[in-house]
């Protein structure tokens, strides 16, 4: 008999709804399967889209999946900045959104290698404590810069001060930070791809065999 928790093994793709945390989704899958369950990157509670979970013995492969590029579609409200870069934060400043031409002039500077401040409401540790916990207590800290690569950034629409962007970014990139640099906040955020895996494939009942998943990384 195999050690407890190692089966079923494989990769599970889940389309996360808005509301629950990524860890809520992981816990639900773990309860259903009885297997060890891990993830290859989380989403904020307000965000939706693709989560890549590892089940059973496949949790040992986590390092192969956490560094994959990710694609997002986001709606950025350019009329206000918030303390978290999303709808859940306090409004810090309200202003007239830029004209489309002015917005388009700013986008090239956000393509390629960029350094962006990590949002205060993030899981990065500051002095040994999660930044979001400090933020909730009202502790002001200077957030570090993180070097990211924005492979693609397309403006798909702009109306009433809300820009719809499609982005392909390196792992660890905070789209909320991009929204903040543009002077706004993410009204919606949806992850549509993780490496070669697409949200259209999501099925919480389906296990992709580890070998098959690894072949797709080649």
Q: Torsion over CA of 28, 21, 39 and 77, rounded to 10 degrees?
A: 140
Q: How much of the chain is helix, strand and coil, in % rounded to 5?
A: 25, 35, 40
> Residue 55: beta bridge partners?
10, 37
Distance CA 64, CA 13 (A): 15
Please say whether the beta carbons of 198 and 51 come within 8 A: no
Please say whether the beta carbons of 141 and 217 come within 8 A: no
Query: Residues with catalytic annotation?
Result: 44
Query: Which helix or strand (DSSP H or E) is residue 159 part of?
Result: strand 145-159
């Amino acid at each position: 008999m195999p050690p407890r928790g190692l089966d079923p093994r494989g990769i599970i793709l889940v389309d996360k709804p808005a509301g629950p945390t990524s860890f809520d989704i992981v816990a639900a899958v773990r309860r259903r399967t009885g297997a060890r369950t891990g993830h290859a990157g989380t989403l904020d509670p307000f965000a939706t889209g693709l989560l890549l979970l590892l089940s059973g013995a496949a949790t040992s492969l986590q390092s192969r999946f956490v560094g994959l590029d990710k694609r997002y579609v986001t709606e950025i409200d350019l009329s206000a900045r918030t303390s978290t870069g999303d709808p859940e934060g306090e409004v810090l400043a309200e202003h007239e959104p830029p004209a489309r031409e002015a917005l388009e002039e700013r986008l090239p500077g956000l393509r390629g290698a960029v350094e962006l401040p990590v949002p205060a409401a993030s899981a990065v540790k500051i002095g040994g404590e999660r930044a979001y916990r400090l933020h909730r207590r009202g502790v002001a800290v200077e957030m570090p810069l993180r070097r990211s690569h924005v492979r693609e950034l397309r403006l798909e629409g702009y109306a009433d001060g809300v820009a719809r962007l499609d982005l392909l970014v390196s792992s660890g990139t905070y789209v909320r930070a991009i929204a903040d640099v543009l002077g706004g906040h993410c009204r919606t955020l949806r992850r549509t791809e993780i490496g070669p895996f697409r949200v259209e494939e999501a099925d919480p009942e389906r296990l992709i065999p580890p070998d098959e998943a690894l072949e797709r990384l080649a």
